[in-house]
Amino acid sequence: MLIFLLKTILPRNMKVIFKWLLLIGTVCYFIYLVDLIQRQPSAFFIFDQHQSQQQQKYGQNDITQTVVTIDRELFDYLVVHLHDTEYDGVDNYIRFMTVFKGLKPLPGIESLVPGMGPVVNDMSQFQHYPINLVPCPSSSSNSSNQSRSLFIGVISGPGNFERRATIRRTWHVHLNKNQQNKKSNKNALLDLLRFAFVIGQTNDSVVQQQVKDESEKYGDILQINMMDKYVDLSVKLTGLFHWLDTFCSRVDYVLKVDDDVYVNVHNLATVLHSLNVSEPSVYGRQCGGNIPDRSASKWKTGFEHWPWQRFPIYFQGAGVIIAGSAVRPILSAMQVTPYFIWEDMYLIGLCAVKAKIQLRTSDRIFVDMPDNPVDPCFIGDNVMWTTDSADVMNASHFASHNQFYDNKLQPSANVQQCNSSTQPAVEFPFGYAQQN
C-alpha cells in the first residue's frame, strides 16, 4: 500500500532511486539475518506450522536483543548461506544446532555441572542398562601410591564376537598378569577397577541371546540402552559416561578404545604414571585434517551436520585416555551439546572443549594402521594402534609379550637400533592442543 502510494506520488527518477533503496535494504536485511543465524540463532522464534502455530523460544534466557520471527523454510534457506563460513566455537555450534534440529530444552532439568546452559539431551534412557556391570570397587585408597586406578571401555558392536575373543586372548592377558601381580603385591602398575566391552542394543534376538551368554561367561559386557548404529556412537559414548559417573566416579583414568585396537599394556602403565593424576585432561593423538569430507564417502559430513568450513581440533577417537576428574564435566557438556555423527569430534572437539578440559596430545599414544606393528622399536615406543585383522592383533601381542614380559629378547640390543629413545617407553611427552 505504502509502495503503491509512493509510486504514484514520486516522480519517475525518484521511483528508480526508491527501487534501488528497497533492493539495498532487502539485501542488507538478508545479510543481517544470515549473520544473526551465525552468531545468535537463539534469537529466532521459528514459526512451526505443525505445532498449532505456537511460537517457541529456544536457547538461553539471557538474550535480550531483537527476536526475529521467520518461518522454517526461510530459516533453512538462510542457513545455506552459512556453508563454508568460519567455525566460531562450540557455544555457537550448540546454539545453532539446537535451533536447526528443533531441540527443546528439557523442562526442570539442570545440567550436572550448573551453568552449562539449557539441557537438550535426555539422559533418562541411560538409567537402565539391558546388561549391566558390577559397579567399580570404591577407590582403593589403600592401594600403594604407585598404582593408577583405571577403567577400560572397549567400544564394540553386538555382533563383533570374534574381535572380543581376540582381545581376551591378547592384550587382556597382560591386564590379568598385572592384576595377579597386584594381588600378590608385586610391582603392579595398574589398578584395573573394571574392564568392559561397551555395546548398544540389537533387534536381532539371536545375537542378543548370544551377547547375554557371553556376558554370563565373562562378566565384561556393558550394554547401553540405544540401538547400535555407527552414526549414533556419540549416544553410546554418552551412555558410557553416564555409567562411569554413576558407578565408577572415583577412578583415576578411563581408557576408551575401539575393538580393533591393540593396547600395549606395559606402555599404558608407563604413560599413566607419567601424568599428573590431579589434572582433569584428555590424552590422545590430534587428528591431522580438519576440513569436513563433503564427498560421498563413508566419512561424508553433510552440511546439515556441519555447515562450517573447518572442524575444531579433535583426537583420533579409537584410543583416548580421559582423566576420571574430567568425566562429570564432559557428561555435563554432553547434556547441553546436540549429538554429532562422529563420536571422536563429539567427545573431544565439542564436549571436552565445552567442559573446558585440557586436550593433551602425543603422536605415540595412538597410531592408525602402523606399517610394522611387530617391530620392537615400534612396540617399545607406542601405546595403542589399530590392527586390520585378528592375525595382526596376535602378532602385535606376541611381539609385545617378548619385548616386555618374557625377556626372550634383550631389550637393549633391540633398542640400540631404534631411532627415537635410548630405552623403550620411559617417557611419553604430551603437548597441549590449541583449543577453539
Q: Which is nearer to ligand NAG, 25 or 431 (CB)?
A: 431
Q: Which is nearer to ligand NAG, 54 or 419 (CB)?
A: 419
Closest approach, Cβ 166 to ligand NAG, in A, equals: 8
Residues 69, 168: Cα–Cα separation, whole Å:
57
Q: Which is nearer to ligand NAG, 84 or 391 (CB)?
A: 391
Are the C-beta atoms of residues 202 and 208 closer than 8 Å to each other? yes
Closest approach, Cβ 274 to ligand NAG, in A, equals: 11
Cα torsion 377, 423, 143, 176 to 10°: value is 30
Q: Which is nearer to ligand NAG, 93 or 428 (CB)?
A: 428
Q: Which is nearer to ligand NAG, 142 or 422 (CB)?
A: 142
Q: Which is nearer to ligand NAG, 309 or 358 (CB)?
A: 358
Quote the crossing angle between the two packed helices 205-218 and 161-169, to the nearest 10°.
20
Closest approach, Cβ 378 to ligand NAG, in A, equals: 7
Closest approach, Cβ 24 to ligand NAG, in A, equals: 51
Q: Which is nearer to ligand NAG, 12 or 408 (CB)?
A: 408
Closest approach, Cβ 317 to ligand NAG, in A, equals: 22
Give the residues lining the site for ligand NAG (CB under 6 A). Answer: 142, 144-146, 203, 227, 276, 278-279, 377, 394, 398, 417-419
Instruction: Give the C-alpha distances (Å, rounded to integers) separating 422 from 93, 264, 426.
Output: 45, 19, 9
Residue with cell string 552414526: 231
Closest approach, Cβ 394 to ligand NAG, in A, equals: 4
Closest approach, Cβ 144 to ligand NAG, in A, equals: 5
Cα torsion 337, 342, 346, 348 to 10°: value is -170
Q: Which is nearer to ligand NAG, 34 or 226 (CB)?
A: 226
Closest approach, Cβ 30 to ligand NAG, in A, equals: 41
Quote the crossing angle between the two packed helices 161-169 and 390-401, to the nearest 10°.
10
